[in-house]
Structure 1
């Protein structure tokens, strides 16, 4: 018998905040679209723009655990890949703690493994390679946590329309309304596979969002895109320079955090 979802929680960064799907008064996005398929469930979204894995663990998780949610959606990690203090070991411990605590509370948990974002947001060659390497390392960590706890996972690289232009908002960093709908539908499908009853459907028909014009694209590039690339580029540049030098000198890529079966992560719950 399918599990009735009486409470649904969403944790994560600006994607789960709804950025990219503008409606009058703010953002909508994947959370409300998914919650509509669970019309009788309590819905709580504690996501925050700019959130990293550590902030989800220490700031968002304590807000949802007391309610012992039946289902939880988690989307976080991309902001970590864009920072100079990226630490695979720390990410592994924090992500394992988040998922472990949700599972222990009785939640059916679904997360994501990330796509190659350099195919969506055009970056110079060295930055593209640096970002790909970071995302690859993050995905290995996510895979390990998914295996350990037996949770659901949406592979964004394989999601229908993942690299189609209409899936992405004007900033090429967040999903468009259609992208949010596709993501919500994928989350609903994974929750159903995990034995949750999904009473409703997530429609892929776009309605209600604000129309994005070429002027929006131009305005975003000038006022947001170039400043963002400058900020994140400075964070990634030392790592990208290391990759370039090692390639030129014939040395192997910079060492990555290697996940070993013997790694003891039980202290993550302390």
Structure 2
């Protein structure tokens, strides 16, 4: 990682877009921007966030990778895979191939990878029991892929299941799927601690709320009605028949 100058590319889904951490003028901030703001106290940072809401590993490979590589990053965060588990088209072999291709290309381009091991989203969301176990099994498969990537390409990573903030309700937005501002700050802080341990020197991001849009229950409810509920409805239609078949098979 360079002397005084850093290029950072953020790839992934809505968590990296910043959903749950709204800006006063509209749009989203999120953990990656918060991390960059702290890095800028010590480094000249060029930041490229190519993440897309709803992205799967295939979307990262097909729509984000080339933009990230064009940025020639020193650091590249790769946080994706949860959306893959929420679709009836789930294919762990395809997931592994896509993420291996993306990770390999980023490392070959000179980037240090930032990756995660995911926590159990199904249990946190309070999904029906028919979904919790099979969804947990899918997350386990995703984590096995990330274990393989880390063993192959190195870099830095977070185990989200070990972060106490995961069980803190204030760290989640109203949908319990996207981090709140406090959740994004916790992510930024955890990444900063690992970067400092790896040799960078910059102030850690604050864990105190500020700079984002003030919380509003009316706005949260409106978001759930217009975006959150329809999203959950689409996932239920997609996964419902599969979950029922899975439950029947397990009962035999």
TM score, norm. by length of structure 1: 0.85
CA apart distance, 1:4:
5.0
Deviations 1:172-231 (A, max 9, x none): 1110000001111112222333x3414232111110222333334443444434322221
The yes-or-no answer on 1:36 pairing with 2:40 is no
Q: Paired residue for 1:73?
A: 77
Matched, 1:175 2:179: yes
* Aligned alpha-carbon RMSD (Å): 1.9
Preserved contact between residue 8 and residue 48 of structure 2 (Cα < 8 Å): yes
Q: Distance in 2 between matches of 1:124 and 1:153?
A: 30
Deviation at 1:171, TM superposition (A): 1.7
CA distance in structure 2 between the partners assigned to 1:92 and 1:51 by the alignment: 15
**CA distance in 2: counterparts of 1:5 and 1:129, whole angstroms:** 45
1:206 alignment partner, one of 204, 209, 229: 209
Q: Which has the higher mean CA deviation after the structures are superposed, 111-120 or 92-101?
A: 111-120
In structure 1, how many angstroms separate the alpha carbons of the residues matched to 2:193 and 2:30? 17
Q: 1:216 to 1:67 in 2, by over 3 A?
A: closer
Q: How many residues align?
A: 248
Match of 2:20 in 1: 20
Contact 1:53-1:77 within 8 A present in 2 as well: yes
Indicate how the Cα distance of structure 1 residues 236 and 153 shifts in structure 2: closer, same or farther if over 3 A, else same: same
Instruction: Determine the C-alpha separation between the residues in 2 that align with 1:167 and 1:235.
Output: 28
Deviates more, 1:140-149 or 1:235-244: 235-244
Partner of 2:113: 109
Contact preservation (8 Å) 1:5, 1:38: no
Mapping for residues 1-270 of structure 1, pairs under 5 Å: 5-25=5-25, 26-39=27-40, 40-193=44-197, 195-249=198-252
SS in 2 for 1:161: helix
User: Take 1:31 and 1:50, find their aligned partners in 2: how far apart are those partners?
Assistant: 17
Which residue matches 1:256? none
Q: Distance in 1 between matches of 2:51 and 2:167?
A: 24
Structure 2 length as normaliser, TM-score? 0.91
State the 1:168 CA deviation: 0.3
Give unpaired runs (5+ residues) of structure 1: 250-270
Alpha-carbon distance in 1 for matches of 2:134, 2:5: 40
Q: Greater shift after overlay, 20-29 or 119-128?
A: 119-128
Question: For each residue in 1:113-158, what CA deviation from the matched residue of structure 2 results, as whole angstroms up to 9, or x when unmatched?
Answer: 1111123212111122232121111111111111111122111111
Distance 1:205 1:116 in 2: 26
Greater percentage in helix: 2
Between the aligned partners of 1:165 and 1:34, the Cα distance in structure 2 is 22
